[in-house]
Amino acid sequence: MNEEQQNQLLEKIDKRIAERLAEQSKQIDKRFDDVDKRLDRQDEDFAEISTHLNARIDGLEEKLDTKADKERVYASLDAIMNRLGHDEAERAAVTSQVDRHETMLQKVARRLGLN
């Protein structure tokens, strides 16, 4: 195999690698878009829940007369807030993972000269 054939073979290999990376990049982008959509829906749901809970809490505060009732309600609210905090931490972790993947893909693209 002469040098020209080697160069042609290397060009074909480079082209196939670039095509596969582009395809995988599109697939990863689509998956990240899907995750973003789900997180956006969760944010909207949490905003709705928060608004609803605030309205209910305001109504309950007016009706509660005894300290025991108030303590029970506050314990329930603390549990809900704790759950919301965990969900927020999970969203932050997913966002961080998306950022790491994006950085990695950019490095791979630069090394392959796809920029």
pLDDT at 64 over 70: no
| Percent of residues in the chain assigned helix, strand, coil, to nearest 5 | 90, 0, 10
| Mean pLDDT computed over 66-90 | 84
Positive or negative: CA dihedral 9, 11, 12, 16:
positive
pLDDT at 67 over 80: no
Q: Which two tokens stand for residue 111?
A: 């090394």
d(CA 89, CA 83): 10
| Mean pLDDT computed over 37-49 | 85
Per-residue pLDDT reduced to its tens digit, 3-39: 889 889 889 998 998 899 889 888 888 888 888 888 8
Tell me how far the alpha carbon of residue 58 is from its chain's centroid: 33
> Residue 32 burial (CB < 10 Å; 0-12/13-18/19+)?
middle
Please report the pLDDT score of residue 45 as a whole number.
Answer: 84
- Alpha carbon dihedral 96, 37, 109, 101, in 10-degree steps, equals 20
Average model confidence (pLDDT) for the chain? Answer: 85
- Judged by DSSP in three states, 66 sits in coil
